[in-house]
Chain A
């Protein structure tokens, strides 16, 4: 199967939407001289779950990190193109990255709770963004975030214990609780279950489905089955190009592009 970039044509399928939450046009990303993302055009809709799949090194994590400007912290990373969050360009020089990240939250591949108490982990965001006036308000936010993340019952009587003392799955849910405590509009998830066991994974997948009622979610995943389970639309990346974006059911049962088909049938991985 020829895998050169030139042979991949324009994006097939439903990559653009009406009234998208986030809108990306002509995105190129370079690491130094090496180009990682080639001319990607993609929309993410309100309250939808968009999953991004593709073989290793195809650029999906890189693309995801552009959405909350986490690539700013990487030396030598250059991002061109337009990124709009509800019409506003997030890469505008005058755009402050701090409130952007309050609106677009991120959950990472390896759970990384702060080495603080569970309470302090969840309370950190609201505190630094000044979202609460009193301690009772803070308690409320902590409790509701942990409940929404499905962790409250397990930790409600040990909120003063270290967050790092929880199991892997609990830690990831703690990270999710921490992210939603500041009520972002978009949640980015970079392979959130790859470090977890199947039971924890299924808990988190249920959580994603619940959260999608109130948040827009973009999730990068290595597991096609996971993408099939949780997402509304799926985007397939290959060697830095966006090959196909379609309704999940459609993409997995009847893909439009031959590369997509080759990937999901396992001819390469």
Chain B
């Protein structure tokens, strides 16, 4: 500025016609001088943005690499190929049509006999126990299922893939590491395992048990089906409750509530509830639903109710924003047509606000899917083996299952924990993708 003033003063002494030219020239000079600085600042800003994004992506890559590298092994399970002589005497079965006999037959004896035949050097009782420990305790049940489906196999000799114990599985998977896992296995057991490996009897097969079974104390028998169904039921209840109540509340607050202190009070409380730590909702569930109403602990119905309390503020706030965003011209047009207030809301406002409401709902549900703390207080952090069949069967949820497995001492649970995390992440990513997709699609249609 001062340059211009000085120049103007100077030009006052000189020709008047030069004055305006002088002014113009000085402004352009200043602009040009500052131009380089401005572009530099813009380039710097862009660089900061790029660096931040790259850093965030890097962190994501590190996270996924860590989880996938730890967890991918869990999708394969070690089996021992054994020749099993399904001798009727050993099985203690004399009538292969009798399902009860088949169910309670001595499959364990058949497996043990096969192991003894392979390794006759195990003579002492202690050694025999160590030999039998190479096979999972659940292997006999898997064999039972196989025979019950095909009773005609009794009396024959078949080659069966028998589920190996989790220590064997961990050892087999760690053979490529610098120091293979030995754990509590004895020298003799390692010798037997090496021999089995040499003869090609150790196989890694796809771990269907992981997806078909509920929780178990034996890692090789543990699966996430129970937790997944539990999560599914819980989220279903959460959705039904929080969606209906949330949308109704948003409509009431936006369309019907009079502008007075009471309405303000409600609004302030809803906004605050959105920031309340989730475990408080668990305490609320414990005090009111379990204490006062006497509801059963650890059931998806209760879990869903507690989680819906937590999701409600999110849904209400996003639904209100969606309703506010409906153009007033549509409302005026509908009102002008003689539609009643309820008809305006149901026929026009709701359909237009639905994409925003759905997006908010899906985001809230995705958050609820990953919550563990409130479930802790209502008893869903428990060891539940049976896959739940109804809303009132005891169950856990997927994040809870991860938490429980992370606490277990067996080494094989480490990779299963990471595998369960992968499944949970896959669910969350797909839910959020559905939210984005729905929003894009519905926006265009409406």
Contacts and interface: CB of A to CB of B under 8 A. Distances in A.
Interface of A: 68, 70, 73, 75, 98-102, 105-106, 108, 110, 112-115, 124-125, 128-129, 175, 178-179, 182
Contacts of A108: 329, 332-333, 336
Interface of B: 259, 327, 329-340, 343, 347-348, 351-352, 446
A102 B337 CA distance: 6
User: Which 5 residue pairs across A and B have the least CB separation, nearest first?
Assistant: A101-B338, A106-B336, A102-B338, A112-B329, A112-B333
Contacts, number: 58
Contact of A101 (B259, B331, B336, B352): B336
A113 B337 CA distance: 11
Given A114-B348, A115-B352, A128 B332 contact: no
A115 B330 contact: yes
A231 B346 CA distance: 38
A114 B333 contact: yes
Given A115-B352, A115-B446, A125 B337 contact: yes
Contacts of B259: 75
A179 B337 contact: yes
A178 B348 CA distance: 15
Contacts of A110: 329
Contacts of B347: 124, 128
Contact of B338 (A115, A125, A175): A125
A174 to B, nearest CB: 11
B339 A98 contact: yes
Given A70-B332, A112-B330, 11 more contacts: A70-B335, A73-B331, A73-B332, A75-B259, A106-B336, A112-B327, A115-B446, A124-B347, A128-B337, A128-B347, A179-B336
6 contacts: A101-B335, A112-B330, A114-B333, A124-B347, A125-B337, A129-B338
A175 B315 CA distance: 34
A128 B347 CA distance: 10
Contacts of B351: 115
Contacts of A106: 336
Nearest to A113: B333
B332 A124 contact: no
Contact of A98 (B329, B330, B338): B338
B329 A128 contact: no
Contacts of B352: 115
A243 B338 CA distance: 32
Contacts of A113: 333
B26 to A, nearest CB: 41
A98 B446 CA distance: 26
A101 B337 contact: yes
Contacts of B335: 70, 73, 101
A70 B336 contact: yes
A114 B330 CA distance: 6
A269 to B, nearest CB: 26
A128 B343 CA distance: 8
Contact of B337 (A73, A75, A182): A182
B255 to A, nearest CB: 11
B136 to A, nearest CB: 61
A125 B327 CA distance: 20
A70 to B, nearest CB: 6
Contacts of A115: 330, 351-352, 446
A114 B334 contact: yes
A219 to B, nearest CB: 15
B97 to A, nearest CB: 64
